[in-house]
Amino acid sequence: MVKKLITQDTRMFLTGNEVIAYAANAAEAEFMYGYPITPQNEIMHTWCKLLPKMEAGFLQTEDEISAGFSTIGGILAGKRAFTATAGPGNVIMQDAQSMAEMMRIPFVCAVMQRGGPSTATVIYAQQETRLTCFGGNGEGFRIVYSTAGHQDLYDYMIKAFNTAWKYRFPTFMLADGYQGKMREPVTLYDPASRGIKMVPTVATLGGANGSRPVNHVRNTFNLEEELMEVLDKYQEEFDRISPEIEEYLEYKADDAEILVIAHGIVARSAMTAIDELRAKGIKAGLFRPITLRPLAVKPLRAAVKRAKQVLFTESANGQLAQMVLEKIYGLTTPYSTLYKMGVGVTGDDIVQKVESMVKEPATV
Amino acid sequence: MARTRIVLAGEGGQGVQSVAKILVEAGYEAGKEILYIPNFGVEQRGGVSIAFCQIADEKIGEPRFSKGDIVIMLSDRAIDRCTTYVSENSTVIYDSSVCTKKPVCNAKSIISVEANKIANEQLSARVFNIIVLGVLLSATNVLQLSDIKNAMEKALGKKFDAKPELRELNYKALEMGMGLIEKAGV
């Protein structure tokens, strides 16, 4: 058992990457595997700096392919392991992430999005939304939390471990370079003090000399039907547990005529904008999906139905919007978009866009 | 709600992020709400380096903002990149001993300082960014000198203890920076 660093509520002024390392320790993580890529490097740096005090482990692998598979190996052997990556690293880790879906590995990964495609920028984006939810050669049997600041990073990193170990679907904390690099105050705490019980770590594979019974975990199938039988079961299970996992946040959405749909840090800019718009007498509100996989479809549909217009805004070209539009099929509320590929969306951006929608309503 | 939005931009290696870190650390210790985003490319040196800082009395929403209250530009490229953050309510400060041009924008005021020249001629090239920190402290006027000194101690205390004359040099740079703005009458 690792030593916990945070035993009482502690207010700190940290970067998001530092927060994530502390959160992993609070979640009783024992081992991190990783490969450096900006803007997530300081998760590894901080984890390593804290290692002697935590009595935990770290392995820097030769690339993200290896980091992903090493994480799986550690978990199979009974370690509470995790990894973190970003951008092109997230791309080449997809093979391991798919394997975690197929073999039902409680794989935890923090994704700090940067600009894309390819190397692009090391700064910020929301362009790994689709990749993190549906990457790899599979069906997206993944749980994805999208965070909006440092308190979220701490809360949801802890939650990610519990979700992964409880349901055994790979679980991602989708953040971004702003959240990784920015500094803001945060309260760290011992999960037990919030009534959070950590789901215990158990080895997946059998132990040496019969210490644990043999367990055959498959990711190879001979027949098509054999595969579908397993995947149908996974899908049924994913659908069944979804209502327990789905999370969302509404801000002044009850009577909103213009509903902003945004996730992650952009949702925070939307809240600033909504306050400003409300002060001007414009009834704007926010629907922020916290879980992007699975989406909280029922409340989402209800909010969209109530509104007169919808605005999708993202630091990507509509990656969340595509996922949402599929789920709100049949509703006729018109929508408009404010997409800034790989660039931060400010409160002013949203205020101006909503004001233009008041003057000239969306028709799509 | 009182919120001060600061854009501090220069060349990578000028110490822009070091100064921003001291400023926000001082703000945090003074009990302010803070949000600081460093923004830079892949270079170790060169390229434009920008620090987006917010200091507020209440919880901060948007991490990135469109227009700064104080926009500091420390190179020609910083002027090119950061004019977009200037509104008619912004105070723009640029270093005319580094920049070869003057920012052209519709601002509340545009002030030139010669931090680089003063550092080189009167103090040491190494405290250029601390002069800028002094400029920033006076221009924002939301933090106390003692807050900044405490934060400097946290960041540079070990170096100061090894070479006490460095502390004096940095304090002098800080005060000269503050003086530049007081002279400009902001």
Chain B residues in contact with A12 by the CB 8 A cut-off are none
Q: Do A187 and A289 fall into the same domain?
A: no
Q: Do B36 and A182 touch (CB under 8 A)?
A: yes
Which CATH number belongs to the domain containing residue A326 in this structure? Answer: 3.40.50.920
Q: Please, which residues have CB within 8 angstroms of residue A327's CB and are 6 or more apart in sequence?
A: A295, A297, A300, A301
pLDDT of residue B182: 78
Domain count, chain A: 2
Give the model's pLDDT for residue B185.
Answer: 57
Per-residue model confidence (pLDDT) at position B65: 95
Over range A315-332, report the average pLDDT: 97
Percent of the residues in chain B that have a pLDDT greater than 70, as a whole number: 95
* Amino acid A250: pLDDT: 98
Which residue in the set A38, A183, A275 is minimally distant from B36, CB to CB?
A183
CATH number at residue A38: 3.40.50.970
- The model's pLDDT over A46-95, given as tens digits with 9 standing for 90+, comes to 999 999 999 999 999 999 999 999 999 999 999 999 999 999 999 999 99
- For chain A, helix (H) and strand (E) counts, in that order, are 13, 14
- Per the prediction, chain A carries an average pLDDT of 97
> Is residue A39 domain-shared with residue A146, that is, in the same domain?
yes
Same structural domain, A256 and A180: no
Cα separation, B157 vs B167, in Å, equals 8
Q: A55-67: per-residue pLDDT in tens?
A: 999 999 999 999 9
pLDDT at B39: 84
Alpha helices in A1-115 (DSSP H): 16-26, 41-54, 64-76, 87-92, 94-102
- Nearest partner of A198 among A256, A145, A158, A150, judged by Cα: A158
DSSP per-residue letters across A209-223: GGSS---------SS
Q: What is the model's pLDDT at position B43? A: 67
> Token pair 């799986």 is at which residue?
A72
Read off the tokens for B58: 């209440």
Average pLDDT over residues A244-261: 98
pLDDT attached to residue A208: 80
Is there a contact between A268 and B67 if contact means CB atoms under 8 Å apart?
A: no
| pLDDT tens digits for range A99-108 | 999 999 999 9
Probe site for chain B from A10, A12, A13, A118 (most B CB atoms < 10 A)? A13
Contact at CB, B65 and A349, closer than 8 angstroms: no
Q: Which residues of chain A make contact with B63, given a CB cutoff of 8 A?
A: 149, 178, 182, 265, 268-269, 344
Q: Is the pLDDT of residue A206 over 90?
A: no
Query: Which chain A residues have any C-beta within 8 angstroms of a chain B C-beta?
Result: 13, 38, 119, 121-123, 149, 178, 181-185, 265, 268-269, 271-273, 275, 344-349
**What is the tens place of the pLDDT at every residue in A14-44?**
999 999 999 999 999 999 999 999 999 999 9
Q: Average pLDDT in the B122-151 region?
A: 95
> Does residue A330 register a pLDDT over 60?
yes
Interface probe, candidates A14, A15, A114, A123, chain B, greatest B C-beta count within 10 A: A123
Q: Could you give the percent of chain A with pLDDT greater than 70? A: 100
pLDDT recorded at residue B44: 65
Establish if A176 belongs to a structural domain.
yes
**In Å, how far is B1's CA from the nearest CA of chain A?**
12
Cross-chain CB nearest to B64 (options A149, A181, A344): A344
Cβ-based contacts of B37 with chain A (< 8 Å): 178, 181-182
The SS3 call for residue A346 is coil
> Could you tell me if A189 and A157 are in contact, meaning their C-beta atoms sit under 8 angstroms apart?
no
| Integer angstrom CA distances of residue A256 from A149, A306, A326 | 24, 8, 22
Total number of domains constituting chain B:
1
Q: Which domain holds residue A301?
A: 248-359
CATH of the domain at B141: 3.40.920.10
Tell me the helices (H) and strands (E) count for chain B, helix number first: 6, 6
Quick: pLDDT tens for B35-77.
999 987 766 667 899 999 999 999 999 999 999 999 999 999 9
Q: Span A113-141, mean pLDDT?
A: 97
Do residue A252 and residue A188 come from a single domain? Answer: no
Domain carrying residue B88:
3-184
Distance CA A312, CA A262 (A): 6
Helices A265-279 and A347-359, axial angle in degrees (round to 10):
50
Contacts of B41 in chain A (CB under 8 A): 121-123
Buried b (16+ CB within 10 A) or exposed e, A225-240: eeeeeebeebeeebee
Per-residue pLDDT of A278-299, as tens digits, reads 999 999 999 999 999 999 999 9
A66 in a structural domain? yes
A167 lies in the same domain as A299: no
Say whether A184 and B34 touch across the interface (CB within 8 A): yes
The pLDDT of residue B45 is: 67
Q: What percent of chain A has pLDDT over 90?
A: 95
What is the value of ipTM here, to two decimals?
0.88
Does residue B81 belong to the interface with chain A, where contact is any CB pair within 8 Å? no
Q: Which residues of A touch B25 (CB under 8 A)?
A: 13
In this structure, are residues A175 and A19 in contact, taking their beta carbons and an 8 Å threshold? Answer: no
